């Protein structure tokens, strides 16, 4: 049996009790290096595709995190937040232009992979799209697909690195330590615009990717 198949079976067994497993990576130099490589891979994949939802579905499927791998957008509790001034300027709208706010958890296999804040301009969507966004948990990216949108990244920031700054010049990796690798909740953050087929921006996003994107066994068997 391949390592990939073993990983899928391991994850599927964790679903049996209805609770998705949490990241349980050993605190070793190898595991830290692999975690960093995976985060950079996910970051590159997100930057090279227009839909974060579809990218996360591919990620979820590739790592055996759910079968079938389907991402849903679940509304998160809390008051709406004003659109930051720099994002309003990036959307090219005036101070009085109505903006809708959507804060959702993008979930796959019981795991919250991303917490996304989305400010969008209802006047730049169709009535059917607005109705769907107001009344269902359909992911934003899927609803607005008919606009043939493109993603314009404003910033991409790695919020946590498993390896210390300058590790590549240190001559050695951090020593292995007993126990599990501690991961913060927020690992990666993107700020982006979505623009339609004519290049007009209609949505501003702040997406924060969580430790659950690594909620699977390390790619190698590490003591």
Tell me, what DSSP letter sits at residue 210? E
List, in sequence order, every beta strand (DSSP E) within 47-197: 72-75, 100-108, 111-120, 150-158, 186-195
Residues 64-90 have pLDDT tens digits of 999 999 998 888 887 788 999 999 999
What is the pTM assigned to this prediction?
A: 0.80
110, with CB counted inside 10 A (0-12, 13-18, 19+), is: middle
Find the farthest-apart pair of alpha carbons in the chain and give their distance in angstroms, rounded.
60
Q: What integer is the mean pLDDT of 7-36? A: 65
| pLDDT tens track for 133-192 | 888 877 788 899 999 999 999 999 999 999 988 887 777 788 889 999 999 999 999 999
pLDDT for residue 22 is more than 70:
no
Per-residue pLDDT at 137: 73
How far apart, in Å, are the Cα atoms of 203 and each of 49, 75, 171, 191?
16, 17, 45, 11
Q: What percent of the chain has pLDDT over 90?
A: 66
pLDDT at 11 over 50: no
Q: What is the mean pLDDT of the chain?
A: 86
Residues 6+ apart with CB under 8 A from 25: 31, 35, 180, 181, 183, 214, 218
**Two structure tokens written together for 5:** 């198949």
* Cα–Cα distance, 62 to 71 (Å, whole number): 13
Q: Is the pLDDT of residue 129 over 80?
A: yes
**Which domains occur in the chain, in start order?**
3-8+23-161+180-214 (3.40.1410.10)
């Amino acid at each position: 049996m391949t390592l990939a198949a073993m990983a899928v079976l391991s994850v599927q067994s964790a679903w049996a009790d209805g609770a998705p497993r949490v990241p349980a990576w050993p605190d070793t130099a190898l595991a830290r290096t692999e975690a960093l490589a995976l985060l950079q891979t996910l970051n590159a994949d997100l930057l090279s595709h227009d839909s974060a939802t579809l990218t996360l579905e591919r990620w979820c499927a590739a790592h055996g995190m759910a079968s079938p791998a389907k991402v849903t957008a679940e509304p998160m509790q809390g008051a709406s937040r004003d659109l930051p001034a720099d994002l309003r300027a990036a959307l090219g709208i005036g101070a009085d232009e109505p903006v809708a706010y959507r804060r959702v958890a993008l979930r796959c296999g019981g795991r919250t992979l991303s917490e996304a804040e989305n400010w969008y301009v209802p006047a730049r969507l169709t009535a059917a799209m607005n109705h769907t966004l107001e009344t269902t948990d359909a992911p934003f990216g899927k609803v607005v697909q008919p606009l043939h949108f493109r993603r314009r990244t404003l910033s991409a920031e790695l919020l946590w690195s498993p390896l210390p700054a300058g590790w590549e010049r240190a001559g050695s990796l951090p020593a292995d330590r007993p126990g599990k690798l501690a991961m913060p909740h927020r690992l990666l953050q993107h700020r982006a615009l979505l623009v339609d087929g004519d290049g007009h921006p209609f949505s501003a996003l702040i997406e924060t990717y969580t430790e659950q994107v690594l909620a699977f066994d390390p790619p190698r068997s590490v003591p």
